[in-house]
Amino acid sequence: MKKVFSFMYKCHKWFGLPLALMFLMWYCSGIVMMYHSFPRISPSEIPVEKTDSAILSTLWFNLPDTLRSCRITHSARHMLIHANGETYGAFSPTRMDLDRIAASFGTKIEKIDTLHDVDKWTPFNQLMTKLPFYRIIGDDSSYIYVSSKTGEIVQQCTLSERRWAWVGALPHYVYITPIRRDAKLWRTIVIWMSGLSTVSVIFGIIIAIRFLLKKHKWHLFKKRSWQWHYSWGLVFGLFMLAFIFSGMMSLAQIPDWIMKSKELANSPVMSVAKSRIDLSTIPQSFGSASLMTDPQLMWSVTSGKKTSTIAASASPIDFSPAFMTPIIEHQTGEKVISVRKIEEDFFYHRGGIPGWRARTDHFSVYWNEKGYFRILDRKAKAHYVCYRFLHTMKIPGLYQIKWLHSIYMWVILLGGLMIVGTGTWLSLKALKNL
């Protein structure tokens, strides 16, 4: 047994320095991430334009007869329909178009760059098909990225957002452009980094508990740096383990040999005949309209900060439990045991928007009137706990009191930083004494 503990101690000690640098990066950037995420253009930021019925009808006529996906947006007063991976209404932006796009974001063009590859603020490989980009640099130092192939606005970020991202999202997500542009490579690297870090934390907790059980006292070390690392590790070690492990689980999946998924009896509706969709329900002006086929046929329409759900066919949408129960029973193949109206739940956090929770033998189903619909089996719930719950500590009751939740997060993050700081110091001293 002594050899096992000796191995753990040596691994924890000598892996400490490189891993501690990653811990410092993740913890410091994690504090920033509580308030500033990676800048990505959202539907609420898409310019709101009036709907030209004639253009909409023409574009709609050219769409495939069966739609797997459909989203309508605007760019420089042009209407674009993104359907089944293609963009209908695509155009090559002129200088006038780029001026209009800049004006829609409240800025004037200072400079225009042409990018033939993704950069720090567009590191996602799904954007590769939209290259080259026109990068508009505004007089307020904001960046707007426009596809030269389709005219689509693919990204927008302000100077403030970019500055916060440098100390927040970029290091936290390991957004190194050559790595992030290859999703598979990036995923593998992050999983291995967080996986090794998880093992190191587990070894540290075991070592600390062994010291406590063996000596039966709190103060074990004469040197303050050792005592601080040991004491902070005992108090905040489990929280550190939760953060690092859940970071790994943001990209990893629970293996089937640990837990298998419960298959749905009937798959959700993933495609719809174009003829079923009624275009007259689309409002006179909007920024973005996304077609949703599950659990009902509807449009999710965003106009500025307002998002609404409207019917996409002659049949009105209905989110009442009486209407939703047959849909749930059809998909799950199980009888609904209970339905309850909720505002907050362990697995439901929608910014205070009330919804419903239905339960069957093997599933929990959540939905609300904004179009949110999610079916969770035991494995999906377990993954939620392993990732989202442990990483954000969205504890029902506590999470609703924002200021109290923020204090709680600050305490456990600063506690983790104390572990990392003292551990880094000890690792540096060990290297110096070699």
- How many angstroms separate the CA atoms of 379 and 386, rounded? 10
| Residue 225 domain flag | yes
- How many angstroms separate the CA atoms of 171 and 123, rounded? 13
Query: Do 185 and 151 share a domain, yes or no?
Result: no
pLDDT in tens, 381-396: 999 999 999 998 888 7
Query: Do 28 and 97 share a domain, yes or no?
Result: no
Total structural domains within the chain:
2
| Residue 42 domain flag | no
| Residue 28 domain flag | yes
- How many angstroms separate the CA atoms of 380 and 377, rounded? 5
Residues in contact with 261: Cβ distance below 8 Å, sequence separation at least 6, in sequence order: 377, 379, 380
| Residue 318 domain flag | no
Count the neighbouring beta carbons within 10 Å of the beta carbon of residue 316: 11
| Max CA separation in the chain (angstroms) | 81
Query: Do 189 and 234 share a domain, yes or no?
Result: yes
| Residue 341 domain flag | no
| Residue 175 domain flag | no
Query: Do 217 and 255 share a domain, yes or no?
Result: yes
Residue 434's pLDDT is: 65
Residue 3's pLDDT is: 74
Share of the chain above pLDDT 70, in %: 97
Query: Do 30 and 96 share a domain, yes or no?
Result: no
Query: Do 187 and 252 share a domain, yes or no?
Result: yes
> Residue 104 maps to which CATH number?
3.10.450
Query: Do 189 and 239 share a domain, yes or no?
Result: yes
Residue 218's pLDDT is: 62
- How many angstroms separate the CA atoms of 369 and 317, rounded? 9
Query: Do 150 and 187 share a domain, yes or no?
Result: no
Residue 189's pLDDT is: 92
376-385 long-range contacts (CB < 8 A, ≥24 apart) are 376/347, 377/261, 377/262, 378/259, 378/262, 379/254, 379/259, 379/260, 379/261, 379/262, 380/261, 381/347, 382/254, 382/259, 383/249, 383/253, 383/254, 384/347
Instruction: Calculate the CA dihedral of residues 322, 355, 317, 283 and round it to 10 degrees.
Output: 170
Residues of the chain with pLDDT under 50: none
CB of 78 closer than 8 Å to CB of 321: no
| Residue 408 domain flag | yes
Of 328, 233, 179, 188, the C-alpha closest to 23 is: 233
Q: Domain boundary at 157, 192, 214, which?
A: 157
| Residue 30 domain flag | yes
Residue pointed to by tokens 């967080």: 194
Residue range of the domain that includes 111: 91-157
Radius of gyration in angstroms for the set of CA atoms belonging to the chain, rounded to a whole number: 26
Query: Do 147 and 187 share a domain, yes or no?
Result: no
DSSP state of 388: I
Residue 272's pLDDT is: 92
What angle in degrees, to the nearest 10, is found between the helix axes of 402-432 and 2-14? 100
DSSP state of 90: -
pLDDT in tens, 81-136: 999 989 999 999 999 999 999 999 999 999 999 999 999 999 888 889 999 999 99
In the numeric block, which tokens belong to residue 321? 């439990």
E strand or H helix at 311: strand 306-311
